[in-house]
Structure 1
């Protein structure tokens, strides 16, 4: 199955661990299995500053750095325990469990989708904290 990707000028993506940057508008067709992550889905270590973001970063690293997957899986297990303990919403817990199931099956790309939901949930929950304190 062919994956079609369009990149804008200057947009980056990771392909099998290599960072690729488009010069000009580019349309790519990937015709075999590859580890691909678009630049907007890449998180830096500095951006991993909340429990959900730390989980995303560990999962992203497991996905783009399979040679060190065991180390990254250990980080995922540690981070998911921290996050599950902090969640109160049944829906958030379900998403966290879905994330854990995908990560256990080494579907790190699919797990990243669940983790993006958790990041948005976490940001919304954190935004409510100052309003409750007033």
Structure 2
């Protein structure tokens, strides 16, 4: 059983349905569902870098089972872009972990790993102007 707590007004997506908490709310999930809390949801306009685009595509694959094939095709393309862009052993290892979780259908776990890739990408981007 999974327990989540939502703050007043916080949104969550459960199997594609958007829910909004009225007051502080606790939810006990007793079976297998696709669930994302509002802070885990990325809007399309936030997918501005390859790692963020990867997160967004994986998120859509997680919450949109009907469109999963198309979203997974985007994930495969983006993982190739990221492996080339994050040319470090750590980055490659994280990309491999991400790809493994996607292949296993563990989208929620893959989203956590995608956040690691976003952090690495951000660090590389912030270091790039200093190196120039």
TM-score normalized by structure 1? 0.96
Over the residues paired in the alignment, what is the CA RMSD in angstroms?
0.8
Match of 2:51 in 1: 52
Q: Does 1:117 align with 2:116?
A: yes
CA distance in 1, matches of 2:63, 2:123: 28
CA distance in 1, matches of 2:53, 2:27: 31
**What residue ranges of structure 1 are gaps of 5+ in the alignment?**
none
1:8-48 per-position Cα deviation (integer Å, ceiling 9, x unaligned) = 11111100001111111011111111110111010011000
1:62-119 per-position Cα deviation (integer Å, ceiling 9, x unaligned) = 0000111111110001111111111121011100000011111111111111100000
The equivalences for 1:76-115 within 5 A come to: 76-115=75-114
CA distance in 1, matches of 2:87, 2:24: 44
SS at match of 2:9: coil
Structure 1 stretches of at least 4 aligned residues deviating more than 2 Å after TM superposition: none
TM-score normalized by structure 2? 0.97
